[in-house]
Amino acid sequence: KCIQTLQKVCGAKRTLPSSYQISGRLSLSSSPPIFGAFCNVHTGFLGPEEVGIKRFRVTAAGDPAPVEQALCEEAVVWKHLSHPNIVPFKGVTFRPLQLVSEWMPCGEIKEYIKENPQANLLSLLLGIAKGLNYLHSRNIIHGDLKGANIVVDTTGNAQILDFSLA
């Protein structure tokens, strides 16, 4: 209940506790972004650590309020998750609007399986199931589970991300 209340308040006020904000130097890499419906995902660095940076798109003529609300709501959910099958959350920046997470260099699960036909599919499915079970035990419904929202870490472990509809 506390997380849901915090999610509603932060979304409505379009602000987050200071503990959510990134401390340290965040920089984008020169790699091209992955384009999503409402955001682009870039690789970058938080100090020496490679990270994923979900950058929300707001047009100059557009109202930033809905985008800021969505970012705040997603950040509140993600910040309070800790599980081996959930991509770890690092924090947010506000100018520009960005969510920062650990980077998963093996990419989305569909591409990973295509490029690694020897991948242990049962282990990947079990990881997804464990991640979903964890979310459900916390009364969180993902809301947009698909191949693009499941990535694989360097050890071949499936991890769930994108909590914008949770």
The phi, psi pair for 46, rounded to 5°, reads -110, 95
3-state secondary structure 78-92: HHCCCCCCECCEEEE
Clarify whether 63 is annotated catalytic.
no
Determine which one of 63, 144, 153, 162 is catalytic: 144
Closest by CA position to 165, among listed 26, 54, 36, 70: 70
**Known catalytic residues?**
144
